[in-house]
Structure formats: C-alpha cells, structure tokens
Chain A
C-alpha cells in the first residue's frame, strides 16, 4: 500500500487518449493530438465534441448527421419538464441542471454507455440551462430552434431572439476551450461512477455535482464577482492590496497543473478585448497587479492566471448572466465527461482505492444502551 497523498496529487488514476494537460509546457492537447490553440480556430463545439467521442474530426456529412442527432435530442421528456416546473424558480441553476438531467436520464433498464447517449445528454443540457434561466426570470420556456448551432440555440432558448454572430462565436469558442481537461475532479467523478458498470446519466449527474463546488466549476463566477467588486481600473490596486492583507485568495489565479500561462486563458484574453473592451481593461490591469502581488509574496510559486479569470470576461461579453457561468461550464464539459466514460468502458475495472485507518483500535465492546 502506498502512502496517503492528499487529493491524490501525483497519483495516476487513468490512461487516456481524450486529452492531455502538459502543465510544464503550458499545453492542452485534445484527442487526436490537437493543441488547443490549433483546434479552437478550426473547429466549433459540435466538431470538438465529435472529436472527443470518436477520435477524429468529422467530415461534412458526419457533422451534418451529428447535428441532426442533436436536434432530435434537444427536447425535454414530459417527466423532466414536469420536474423542472415543480421546482422553486430561484433554485441554484446547478441544482436544477443536476435534477432535471437525472429525470431526463431515468430509464427502465440499465444501458451500457453509448455515443448516441452521449450525444443526447449533451444536446439536452442547453434546454435545461435555458429553462432554469427562464424560470428564474418568471418567463415561459422557449422551444429549441432546429436550424441553430449548439451555442446559438442556447442563447435563443434563454432570450427568444436569434443572437448576433459574434456573441455566438464567443460562446462557442468558450465551449470548445472548456470541453475537456485531463482528470479534473468532475471528470474523475464520472469515471469512478462508470467504473461500477453504471449508466451514462448517472456519471454525468455525478459530475455536475462535483463541478458545482467552488473549488472546481464555481471559480468563473468567483472571478467575475471579484471583477464586479473591483469595478474600475483605479480600484484594482487598493482592492487587491486590501484583499491580500486579509489573506483572501484571488479567484482566477493559480492552478495545480499549469506551471506556465494556461493556453486557454491566453486565447480568451485575446478574445476578451473585443468581447468586452471595458471589462477587459479592468481585468488586464487586475491581472498585472495580482500576478505581481502573488509573485512578491511567493516568488517560488508559478502563480499564473487560470482559465476562469478570462472566461468570466468573455462570457460577460457574450451577455451570459453570471449565475449561469457554472452551468455553461457543464454545457461544455459534458463532451469530455462522456468521452472519458466511453473510453473507460473499453477496459472497465472498479475504482476502489484504499484508506488509512485513524479510528480506535478494533475490538472494543459496545455497551448496552442503558449502560452508556
């Protein structure tokens, strides 16, 4: 038995072809061997999801077929819709997503995870996220529009208007960039659930629960909240110095894996200039100061900007409300979760680690109730 490594840091828990986070060199590689900076300008979200599931980028006809499959799977089942409508409209949207997706995935018999099911779960998530948003706005749900792309359809179902091309582009790029990232906590959750022979919906529902945690998917929201609180270029310095003095963490900085600039953050930073020039200014100044403060405090640490920081600016530019940020992250990452589950099916072995016993010496005798 090995020694306890908190957080399983440095422990290899899977072999994968789906993606590779090369932290030392600041590279993110998607299935097929594509660097994220090469893939993002070439492929949209649907193509990226196809790549993660099937191992190759789709041809035109394969892409058309995938779009058709997604269109057919966008609608909620009656039971899932009834579940959505029964919930408090002010529910945390991640709780709504977790619950309604669980209802949508309820089946009569257990099925082995399949690409078709991965497509269906991926396709329906925007419907649930937009539905949660409409409920919060006390407005009626909007049916999906068949001819729209995955990203455009999400905004359509939120607003009831076909969005401008640039907004769709920013959201689509975000979805491509966040679609997979090695064995992060939610992906690992999905793989642990899959390892018992469970079904794909259970894996995705579990992963949503893990992504909900502020230490994982909640960081984009936290970064935006920080930027809101800073508010202006002039306020960045006093705000950060004060926060640092109070030992508060700067959301959007630091990552366990990258030792250099996160390649996704680099792409998003560039996009942020056009997506939201005003917030970009505040963010760029905040970044510069934050990195300096962190470096002065811990020169030995590679405190780089992480993807959440610049994602919060780009999503803001795409006019996504911040309470949906974590849900939009799930909308993207579901492609990776499902790809990992499908990959693990090839050689399934239950994930059952060991634990170290810190309790009392075994064998003490229980006292009967009346003698305690």
Chain B
C-alpha cells in the first residue's frame, strides 16, 4: 500500500491519449496538437471529432457530425417539462445537472456509445438557453440547423444571430476549455464509468464536480473581485489591503502549470481586442497580483489561470456571469464524453483505499443505556 497523498497529487489514475497537460512547459496538447495551433482556426465540432474519433475530420465527416449534432439539439418532452418545473431562481448548474439527467433516462442500462456522446454534447446549449430565456420570462428559441454549435448556442440564448466576431470568440473559448487532462470533473466521469454505469450518469456526476468553486465555479468570482477593485489605480491599495485579511486573489494559481497557462495567453489577447475596458483593469490587477504573490512566495510559480481572462471574454460575448460555469460545462462535455469512451475500452473499477484514523474496535452501548 502506498502512502496517503492528499488530492492524489502526482498519482497516476489513468492512461489517456485525449489530452496532455505539460505543466512544466506550459503546453496543452489535444491528441498531439498543441492548443495554440487549434484554438483560432478549428471549430468546436472539429475538436469534438478529434476527441471522439482520434483525428481531425475531412470535409464530409465534419458535415456529417455537424448534421448529427444539429439533429440532436431538441429536448425530450420529459426534459422540457422538468425544465419548466424547476424554480426560476435555481442555480443554472443545478438545472443543467437535473435536465441532463432527465434527458438521459432510459429503461435499460446501456454501455456508453459515441452516439450518446454526440447527443449529450448537442443538448447542453439547448438546456442552458431555454433556462436563460425562462428566467427572463421569454419562451425557448428553437435551434437552427444551419448554424454551427457556438453560433446556435448564442442564437438560442438571445433569439437573434450574433456577429461573426462574437461567434468566433465563443467558439475559441469552447475549443480552449474542451479538455484538460485528469481534472476533477473528468476524473469523476471516469470513476463513474469504471463501475460500468451509463454515459448520462458520468456526465451528471461531472457537472456536479465542475460546479465546485475550486474547479469550474470560479470565473464569476473573478468578475466580482474586479468589480470590487473598480479602477486600475485602485488595484495596488485594494489588493495590499485584501492580503492583510487573507483574501484570495481570484484567477491565480494552478496545481499543474509552472509557467503561463497557454489558454490564458490566448484569452488575454482576445480580451484586449474585445473587451478593452475589462482589459485595462484586469491587466493592471494581474500585474499587481503576480507581483504581490511573488513577494510573498518567491518559490511558488504563481501564474494567471484560465479563469481570469475567461471572465472578460465571456462578458464581451454577452453571457451573464451565472452562465460562465455552465458554458464551461458545455465545452468540457466533449472531453468528458471522450474520456468515458476511453475508460470503458480497457476498464477496471476505480476503488482506491482509505486509511482508517478512527478509534480501535469497542462495544456499542444499547439505546436505553446511553447518556
């Protein structure tokens, strides 16, 4: 038996050929391609194809996948009814968790399939957009088969087509966030898959894990902190004061990257172009945060993480901040499903050990004699 390592840090839990996070060199690799080579030119559909089939699609294959996705966008009747029943003020992540669960019900257990991966990926934007509309007292917008995955998501959210620049930005965001090694939600999906459970159960579990603020639930926190800071001039005094009260700087630090997160680099450039007001404040805050963190812990590689500039990009796209984490989920579902399919090929139930730190065996006292 090995020694207990908190957080399983450095413990190998899977073999994968889907993505590689090379923290030392600041590289994220999807099936051999470095993220910077994919982010600006590939559609989300092409990257999903790359994950699911192991290679980039030819034109006809891409058209085929796009058609399959657009045909799978509608919600089942049960899912629509449940969506209408959930409280309007519910956390959109709870709504996504519940509706993905209804959408995936079946009478008999099925082994995860590629078709299910496509169906699930297609339906996430529909769930999110329909709930967004409901919160505004508006009816759902029917998906448009002629629009790509990102364009259609925006169309269903807003009831109008977005500009090519905005569509492109959301597409790039979704490509950047589509997979990231053995993160907690992906690992959750693989643990669930390891019991021979179904695809839907894996995704529902992964959504639950992504909801946590230490994983996917923090991009809105970045925005909230920037709102508190208010102006670039206020960055230094606000942040110095914050550290006295042990306030965490949102959007900094990552267990794996030892240099600048390659996704953050791309998102930063997008932010500068699309959201200059955010960028003016955020870049000043970033500079200050890195300086203060370095002063405190010169030995630590404190770098900006993906969430920091995601916030500015998603804001420029026009998403409300409660939709940042759900949109992360709508991207990561491509990776989750690919990992589930990979796990079941050469599966073994994931059942680690625990170390008992409780008392030695003793006899229980019957209820009548308990004090």
Closest Cβ–Cβ distance, residue A34 to chain B (whole Å): 5
A35 to B183, CA, bound (A): 36
Rounded to whole angstroms, the CA-CA distance of A94 and B197 in the bound complex is 11
Total CB contacts across the A-B interface at under 8 A: 426
Q: Which of B199-244 contact A (CB under 8 A)?
A: 200-202, 204-217
Which chain A positions have C-beta within 8 A of B101? 95, 98-99, 102, 205
Partner of B2, one of A2, A57, A103, A209: A2
A354-B11 in contact given A57-B370, A99-B98, A205-B101 (Cβ < 8 Å): yes
A277 within 8 A of B: no
- A90–B105 Cα distance when bound, in Å, is 10
Q: Are A2 and B10 in contact (CB under 8 A)?
A: yes
Q: Say yes or no: A17 contacts B358, CB within 8 Å.
A: yes
Complex interface: chain B residues within 8 A of A279 (CB): none
Asked if B201 contacts A212 (CB within 8 A), the reply is: yes
When chains A and B are docked, how far (Å) is the Cα of A104 from the Cα of B318?
A: 30
Q: With the chains together, A194 CA to B7 CA distance in Å?
A: 11
State whether A60 and B370 are in contact (beta carbons under 8 Å apart), knowing that A20-B356, A183-B351, A215-B195 are contacts in the complex.
yes
Give the interface size bracket for A toward B: 35 or more
Residue A232 interfacial (CB < 8 Å)? no
With a CB–CB cut-off of 8 A, which chain A residues contact B197? 209-210, 212-213, 216
A198 CA / B213 CA spacing, docked (Å): 7
B97 contacts across to A, CB distance below 8 A: 102, 106, 202, 205
Residues from chain A with a CB closer than 8 A to the CB of B7 are 195, 349-352
Q: How far is the CA of A194 from the CA of B360 in the complex (A)?
A: 27
Indicate if the CB atoms of B370 and A59 lie closer than 8 Å: yes
Per-residue 0/1 for B328-371: is the Cβ within 8 Å of any A Cβ (1 yes, 0 no)?
00000000000000000000111111111111111111111011
Closest Cβ of chain B: how far from A108's Cβ, in Å?
5
**Residues on A with beta carbons closer than 8 Å to the beta carbon of B290:** none
Q: How far is the CA of A207 from the CA of B209 in the complex (A)?
A: 11
A166 at the interface (CB under 8 A from B): no
Q: Is the CB of B3 within 8 A of A12?
A: yes
Distance of A27 Cα from B356 Cα, bound (Å): 13
Residues of A within 8 A of B355 (CB): 12, 14-16
Q: Are A196 and B364 in contact (CB under 8 A)?
A: no
Residues A327-348 near B (CB distance < 8 A): 347-348
In the complex, what residues of B have CB within 8 A of residue A355's CB?
12-16, 181-182
Docked Cα-Cα span, A194 to B33, in Å, equals 33
Contacts of B182 in A (CB 8 A): 352-355
A81: min CB distance to chain B, Å: 8
Known A95-B200, A196-B211, A364-B32: A86·B255 in contact at CB below 8 Å: no
Minimum Cβ distance to chain B for residue A11 (Å): 5
A356 contacts chain B at the CB level, 8 A cutoff: yes
**B residues in contact with A17, CB < 8 Å:** 356-358
Q: How far is the CA of A213 from the CA of B349 in the complex (A)?
A: 10
How far, in angstroms, from A40 to B287 measured CA to CA in the complex? 60
- Chain A residues with CB under 8 Å of B194's CB are 7, 185, 213, 215
Q: Is A214 an interface residue (CB 8 A)?
A: yes
Chain B interface size, as a band, is 35 or more
Q: Does A299 contact B (CB under 8 A)?
A: no
Find out whether the CB atom of A185 lies under 8 angstroms from the CB atom of B349.
yes
B254 to chain A, nearest CB (A): 10
Q: Which residues of B contact A352 (CB under 8 A)?
A: 7-9, 182-184, 187, 255-256
Which A356-372 residues have a C-beta within 8 angstroms of B? 356-370, 372
Instruction: Say if the beta carbon of B108 comes within 8 Å of chain A.
Output: yes
Q: Is B246 an interface residue (CB 8 A)?
A: no
Q: Which of these binds chain A: B52-60, B152-160, B161-169, B277-285?
A: B52-60
B87 touches A13 (CB 8 A): no
Contact B107 A182, beta carbon cutoff 8 Å:
no
Q: Find the residue from B200, B205, B256 having the highest chain A CB count within 10 A.
A: B205
Residue in contact with B362 in the complex, picked from A6, A33, A189, A364, CB distance below 8 Å: A33
**Contact A103 to B184, CB < 8 A, known contacts A60-B370, A362-B22, A366-B42:** no
In whole angstroms, how far apart are the Cα atoms of A59 and B369 in the complex?
8
Q: Is B90 an interface residue (CB 8 A)?
A: yes
Interface positions, chain A 154-190, Cβ under 8 Å from B, are 182-186, 188-189
Looking at B76-84, B121-129, B137-145, B296-304, the stretch in contact with chain A turns out to be B76-84
Q: Do the beta carbons of B1 and A12 come within 8 Å of each other?
A: yes
B95 at the interface (CB under 8 A from A): yes
Q: Please judge, given known A-B contacts A12-B354, A196-B184, whether A91 and B105 are in contact too, CB under 8 Å.
A: yes
Q: Collect the chain A residues with CB atoms within 8 Å of residue B212's CB.
A: 193-198, 202, 350
The 5 lowest CB-CB distance pairs between A and B, nearest first, are A213-B195, A196-B212, A209-B201, A202-B208, A206-B205
- Sample 6 A-B pairs with CB under 8 A, ordered by A number: A10-B353, A83-B86, A192-B209, A209-B192, A210-B192, A356-B16
Besides the known contacts A1-B12, A205-B205, A369-B56, 13 further A-B residue pairs in the complex with CB atoms under 8 A apart: A10-B2, A59-B367, A91-B107, A98-B204, A182-B353, A192-B191, A196-B215, A196-B216, A205-B208, A206-B205, A216-B349, A354-B9, A359-B17
